[in-house]
Amino acid sequence: MKRTFAIALAALVATALFGALVYGVLVAAHLSEPASATVYGFTARRLWATTVAMVALVGVAIGGLALARPGRFGTDSGRFGAIMVLVLGLIAVSNGWLNLAVAKGGPGTGNGVVGGAAAFVLGIIALALGGLALARCRRTASEPERMK
């Protein structure tokens, strides 16, 4: 029961932190004001932002797996998984930033600014996880050489 509560509390804190970071990115980009007329449905930029946010989310998931189980992606050291996470994170950060840079309004304008900010934040997290996983696989790869 205590473990379930701890996991639920950690998920709640992570969600709140993610929301605060997305809002912070929107404020920094001067796009935090809502639209006067809300656009409903998918637009091309919303689809772009949602796709990039999903790429970032996949990058975060693979980054977690690469940290937890380094040999999960077919190599002993886990280098492939770490590099894949770094590439996905870079794609997400650059596309999320580009979406925010070309947006002409805040949430509700159909420009995908919330998805772009989410992709940016998740991409930064994926880059951090990928960097940690790459450093870990380099460290574990060099340890057997010292043992000889």
Q: pTM, whole model, 2 decimals?
A: 0.81
The answer to the question of residue 18 being in a domain is no
The answer to the question of residue 145 being in a domain is no
Split into its structural domains, the chain has a count of 1
CA 92 to each of CA 38, 98, 122: distance values in angstroms, whole numbers, following the listed order:
26, 10, 8
Decide: 78 and 136 in contact? Cβ < 8 Å: yes
Tell me what the mean pLDDT of segment 116-144 comes to: 84
Q: What would the pLDDT profile of 10-44 be if each residue is shown by its tens digit?
A: 888 888 988 888 888 888 887 777 777 777 888 88
The answer to the question of residue 118 being in a domain is yes
Q: Which two tokens stand for residue 144?
A: 């057997």
Decide: 43 and 110 in contact? Cβ < 8 Å: yes
3-state secondary structure of 108: coil
Confidence of residue 71 (pLDDT cuts 50, 70, 90): low
The answer to the question of residue 71 being in a domain is yes
The answer to the question of residue 147 being in a domain is no
Q: What would the pLDDT profile of 82-97 be if each residue is shown by its tens digit?
A: 889 999 999 999 999 9
The answer to the question of residue 84 being in a domain is yes
Q: Domain containing 88: what range?
A: 43-138
